[in-house]
A and B are shown apart, each in its own frame.
Chain A
Amino acid sequence: MASDPAFLEWAIFGGLVVASGVTFLCAYRVIRGPTTPDRVVALDTIGTNVVAIAVLFALQTDRGLFVDVSLVLAIIGFISTLAVARFVTEGDIIE
């Protein structure tokens, strides 16, 4: 929004930087993580961070469309977490 105060734009930009850096740091646990559940947890955290990034991007561009994007990302992250958690124990997802 053009009428936004300057400090709000700086806060959104700072939030985007923090969330992006934190998402990058999660990759360490995905690559190193000793066990498979560690990697699943790290990927789930990356999903949560990307949801936050999408909301921050919606705030930055002032387009509410990206909030819908973040909601869909949350749903896909949840389903993929359940699928992987089931796959590593049962061996298949749908029997």
Chain B
Amino acid sequence: MTANVLQAAVVTALICVGSFFLAVGTLGLLRLPNVYNRLHATSKAATLGAASIFLAGFVHFGGEGAGLVSLVGIVFLFLTAPTGAHMISRSARRMGVDFLPDVYWPRVLEAESERETETEGE
């Protein structure tokens, strides 16, 4: 009986943490100014929330059957969420979605300064 209550307490804590991170991810999706900044919120916070709820499923269902599927789901989420975020941000960059005004691509700035020194040398 005590073990049952302890298990339920752990599941409750994991569900609370997961709901919190899902809410944080969606708040970032709604409030942040740019698609690249929104990807930060969704690809990290929302994935962490879903993984926490998966972990709650593992604690609830135990080490066989659906519990193991939950662990596989955590691994799958942690593999695919960064890949999908990278693909979206790369296609956004290729579509010409601009960064924020004071954000620049480091290589581009270096190339511009090199070009300036070359023209000064001439």
A-chain residues with CB within 8 Å of residue B54 when the two chains form the complex: 55, 70
* Given known contacts A35-B35, A48-B50, A64-B69, A26 and B26 CB-to-CB distance under 8 angstroms: yes
Q: How many A-B residue pairs have CB under 8 A?
A: 159
Q: Find A35's partner among B18, B84, B97 (CB 8 Å cutoff).
A: B97
Q: Is the CB of A7 within 8 A of B8?
A: yes
- Which of B47-97 touch A at CB < 8 Å? 47, 49-50, 53-54, 56-57, 60-61, 65-67, 69-70, 72-73, 76-77, 80-81, 83-84, 87-92, 94-95, 97
A: residues with CB less than 8 A from B are 3-5, 7-8, 11-12, 14-15, 18-19, 22-23, 25-26, 28-29, 35-38, 40-42, 44-45, 48-49, 51-52, 55-56, 58-59, 64-65, 67-68, 70-71, 74-75, 78, 81-82, 85-86, 88-89
21 A-B pairs within 8 Å (CB atoms) are namely A8-B8, A11-B11, A19-B19, A19-B53, A22-B22, A23-B26, A26-B29, A29-B38, A37-B89, A37-B92, A37-B95, A41-B29, A45-B25, A49-B46, A51-B50, A56-B15, A81-B87, A82-B87, A85-B84, A85-B87, A89-B91
